[in-house]
């Protein structure tokens, strides 16, 4: 397939904001896509490999500017000037490519989509000396044979800002509409669920495309878990009280500590193949060598997939630490031994998805949780089965809840004993209860530079929630509180300086003191109240918001949605 065909698809997708229209356009495209072109499925989301792969394109704006300059013969200064004016490097590349087309006579070779993906895949492979130069030549070569519209989408893909309003869920619905046309509405709903489940188990859109293309629900059902390949985790819903929990789940049910750590999926393929993944599907095996060792030593079984929460604790006092303290270990790739000593983790296992060659997803929770107890040898401060009671007594559950809070944990989880494990779903059979209801996980989409003491730093941050219906991020307020001016040595500090450093490479537009920021950095925010507000695109504003933590463990798809904001607004009334 020519890359031009894909660029034209992007163009028509971005020309409409209507979800149904997008699904229709995409579905027509998918019908024409051959199996040889399966890898283009990744490009639909601006990626080059399955979403769990660590090989991301990762090109900075600065590098893209250099490549545009080289390919078009315009000085870098001119490219930057245009960027400031237009605010979209892709559009700059398009404009300059147009100009070049008019001033040069040579005809362009046609760019195939395969050539594009092959070239893009070379980028994350480059390492060591001369990497920047090599990356620039790969991009320049692509740009040199690109038409203006191809240049537009090449650059947007490179800098990770495709702007076509497509999510995994749009692709899912387009697959239903393309390959299950003859099914009735009820059956289509079932197909949609099966496709979502296939996506959540494989996290590989090209693989799901290949199978969906067969048009058979049975085939979709054959997609299984694979040990060593990350899986999306099952998520919980929130209820205000233990009583509500029992009402929703029935009696008896399991009540567990809700640990204040981060989610860790543990895969054991063989004795020497143990890998750890976050809920963002990132491989963090190297970051937590002690967890690998505990699994080797204290968990019985040839192969398995465990779901757990890793919690940090103070080496000396053994007191559990809040998530923010240990979140730095997730990203840290150097001096691992040192930080491991400073901030050790305890692994609290609460579920099992696979054991000795067999998927347990459809087994009831009661069976799964009792298997965990059989195969794990509890070693506090190393690895343990999550603290749990199975009860039908509200009184006992309340006492357990109090104990969890006294132990510095967030609250409790209540779980139905008969439920299956549904990867990727926010299910109604696993419920969380915690005292602080008023917090959201929001993404930073803009900021303002400070003045006076804070000049040179970004000091006020625009927060956005996610609107599932339109696939857009909607602003819900500004925050500057909770971030420190000065860090304290030896602590995990969220300072203005640190945030500025993290956010600067993500700036997409700059106007005076205000900048727009690519939605990537997620923060947990508490607030006093939600108000209606015409000032923000969500229609809501947070009163007295305060940042409590960076959430490097959380994927964008799991931030607070507009529906959740609305629900909490109603509840608060």
Active site residues per annotation: 258
Nearest distance from C-beta of residue 506 to ligand ATP, angstroms: 22
Helix, strand, coil percentages, rounded to 5, for the chain? 40, 25, 35
Binding mask 503-542 for ligand ATP (x = CB under 6 A): ----------------------------------------
Residue 235 near ligand ATP by CB under 6 A: yes
Residue 442's contacts (CB-CB under 8 Å, 6 or more residues apart) are 463, 464, 465, 476, 522, 523, 525, 559, 560
Residue 57 near ligand ATP by CB under 6 A: no
Which of 125-133, 135-143, 258-266, 469-477 is the region at the interface with ligand ATP (rule: CB under 6 A)?
Answer: 258-266
Residue 257 or residue 527: which is nearer to ligand ATP going by CB?
257
Binding mask 438-467 for ligand ATP (x = CB under 6 A): ---x--------------------------
Closest to 430 in 3D by CA, of 467, 388, 372: 388
Residue 236 near ligand ATP by CB under 6 A: yes
Please identify which residue in 212, 386, 414, 483 interacts with ligand ATP, judged by CB under 6 A: 386
Residue 435's contacts (CB-CB under 8 Å, 6 or more residues apart) are 405, 411
Residue 350 near ligand ATP by CB under 6 A: yes
Residue 31 or residue 367: which is nearer to ligand ATP going by CB?
367
The answer to whether 323 and 361 are in contact (CB under 8 A) is: no
The answer to whether 307 and 385 are in contact (CB under 8 A) is: no
Please identify which residue in 82, 94, 200, 309 interacts with ligand ATP, judged by CB under 6 A: 309
* Number of chain positions touching ligand ATP (CB under 6 A): 14
Which of 75-83, 94-102, 255-263, 314-322 is the region at the interface with ligand ATP (rule: CB under 6 A)?
Answer: 255-263
Residue 564 near ligand ATP by CB under 6 A: no
Nearest distance from C-beta of residue 415 to ligand ATP, angstroms: 7
CA distances from 312 to 50, 261, 385 (A): 31, 7, 16
Residue 149 near ligand ATP by CB under 6 A: no
CA distances from 42 to 12, 207, 385, 418 (A): 18, 10, 38, 36
Residue 82's contacts (CB-CB under 8 Å, 6 or more residues apart) are 92, 95, 96
Closest to 93 in 3D by CA, of 116, 123, 118, 63: 63
Nearest distance from C-beta of residue 560 to ligand ATP, angstroms: 8
Torsion of CA 364, 369, 370, 373, to 10 degrees: 160
Strand pairing of 273-277 and 345-355?
A: unpaired
Which tokens belong to 254?
């399991």
Closest to 323 in 3D by CA, of 332, 315, 312: 312
Residue 432 near ligand ATP by CB under 6 A: yes
Nearest distance from C-beta of residue 291 to ligand ATP, angstroms: 15
Residue 200 near ligand ATP by CB under 6 A: no
The answer to whether 180 and 216 are in contact (CB under 8 A) is: no
Residue 94 or residue 558: which is nearer to ligand ATP going by CB?
558
Residue 86 or residue 405: which is nearer to ligand ATP going by CB?
405
Nearest distance from C-beta of residue 532 to ligand ATP, angstroms: 24
Residue 452 has what DSSP assignment? Answer: G
DSSP line for 22-59: HHHHHHHHHHH--GGGTTHHHHTTT-SS-TT-S-----
Q: Where are the beta strands (DSSP E) in 154-303?
A: 235-238, 253-258, 262-270, 273-277
Residue 147 or residue 283: which is nearer to ligand ATP going by CB?
283
Residue 259 near ligand ATP by CB under 6 A: yes
Which of 33-41, 253-261, 291-299, 442-450 is the region at the interface with ligand ATP (rule: CB under 6 A)?
Answer: 253-261
Residue 413 near ligand ATP by CB under 6 A: yes
Specify burial of residue 125 (Cβ count, 10 A radius: 0-12, 13-18, 19+): exposed
Residue 177 or residue 348: which is nearer to ligand ATP going by CB?
348
Residue 70 or residue 258: which is nearer to ligand ATP going by CB?
258
Residue 95 or residue 267: which is nearer to ligand ATP going by CB?
267
Closest to 142 in 3D by CA, of 7, 25, 275, 20: 7
Please identify which residue in 95, 156, 213, 263 interacts with ligand ATP, judged by CB under 6 A: 263
Closest to 400 in 3D by CA, of 572, 215, 242: 242
Report the interface residues with ligand ATP, using CB under 6 A: 235-236, 256-259, 263, 309, 350, 386, 413, 432, 441, 558
């Amino acid at each position: 397939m020519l890359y031009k065909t894909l660029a034209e698809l992007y163009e028509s997708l971005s020309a409409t904001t209507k979800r149904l229209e997008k699904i229709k356009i995409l579905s027509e495209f998918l019908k024409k896509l051959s199996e040889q072109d399966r890898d283009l499925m990744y490009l639909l989301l601006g990626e080059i490999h399955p979403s769990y792969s660590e090989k991301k394109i990762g090109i900075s704006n600065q590098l893209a500017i250099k490549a545009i300059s080289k390919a078009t013969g315009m000085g870098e200064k001119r490219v930057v000037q245009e960027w400031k004016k237009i605010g979209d490097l892709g559009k700059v590349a398009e404009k300059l490519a147009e100009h070049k087309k008019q001033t040069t006579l040579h005809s362009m070779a046609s760019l195939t989509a395969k050539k594009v993906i092959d070239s893009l895949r070379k980028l994350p492979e480059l390492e060591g000396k001369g990497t920047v130069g090599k990356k620039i030549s790969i991009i320049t070569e692509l740009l040199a044979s690109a038409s203006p519209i191809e240049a537009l989408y090449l650059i947007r893909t490179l800098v990770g800002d495709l702007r076509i309003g497509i999510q995994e869920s749009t692709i899912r619905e387009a697959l239903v509409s393309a390959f299950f046309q003859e099914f009735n509405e009820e059956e289509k709903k079932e197909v949609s669920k099966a496709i979502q489940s296939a996506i959540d188990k494989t996290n590989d859109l090209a693989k799901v495309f290949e199978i969906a293309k067969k048009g058979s629900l049975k085939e979709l059902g054959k997609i299984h878990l694979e040990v060593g390949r990350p899986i999306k985790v099952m998520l919980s819903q929130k209820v205000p009280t233990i009583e509500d929990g029992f009402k929703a789940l029935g009696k008896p049910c399991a009540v567990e500590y809700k640990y204040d750590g981060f989610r860790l999926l543990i895969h054991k393929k063989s004795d020497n193949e143990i890998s750890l993944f976050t809920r963002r599907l990132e491989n963090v095996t190297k970051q937590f060598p002690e967890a690998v060792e505990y699994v080797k030593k204290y968990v019985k079984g040839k192969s398995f997939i465990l779901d757990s929460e890793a919690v940090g604790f103070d080496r000396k006092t053994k007191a559990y630490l809040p998530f923010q303290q240990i979140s730095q270990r997730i990203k840290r790739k150097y001096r691992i031994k040192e930080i491991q000593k400073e901030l050790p983790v305890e692994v609290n296992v609460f579920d099992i998805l696979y054991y000795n060659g067999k998927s347990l997803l459809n087994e009831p929770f009661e069976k799964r949780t009792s298997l965990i107890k059989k195969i794990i040898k509890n070693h506090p401060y190393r690895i343990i089965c999550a603290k749990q009671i199975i009860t039908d007594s509200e009184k006992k559950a309340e006492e357990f809840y109090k104990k969890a809070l006294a132990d510095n944990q967030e609250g409790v989880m209540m779980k139905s004993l008969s439920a299956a494990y549904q990867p990727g779903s926010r299910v109604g059979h696993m419920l969380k209860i915690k005292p602080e209801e008023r917090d959201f996980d929001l993404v930073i989409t803009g900021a303002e530079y400070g003045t006076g003491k804070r000049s040179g730093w970004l000091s006020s941050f625009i927060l956005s929630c996610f609107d599932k219906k339109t696939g857009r991020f909607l602003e819900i307020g500004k925050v500057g509180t909770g971030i420190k001016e000065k860090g304290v040595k030896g602590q995990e500090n969220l300072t203005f300086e640190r945030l500025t450093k993290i956010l600067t490479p993500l700036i997409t537009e700059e106007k005076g003191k205000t900048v727009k920021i690519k939605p990537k950095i997620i923060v947990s925010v508490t607030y006093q109240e939600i108000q209606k507000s015409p000032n923000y695109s969500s229609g809501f504003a947070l009163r007295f918001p305060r940042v409590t933590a960076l959430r490097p463990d959380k994927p964008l798809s799991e931030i607070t949605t507009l529906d959740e904001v609305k629900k909490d607004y109603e509840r608060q009334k």
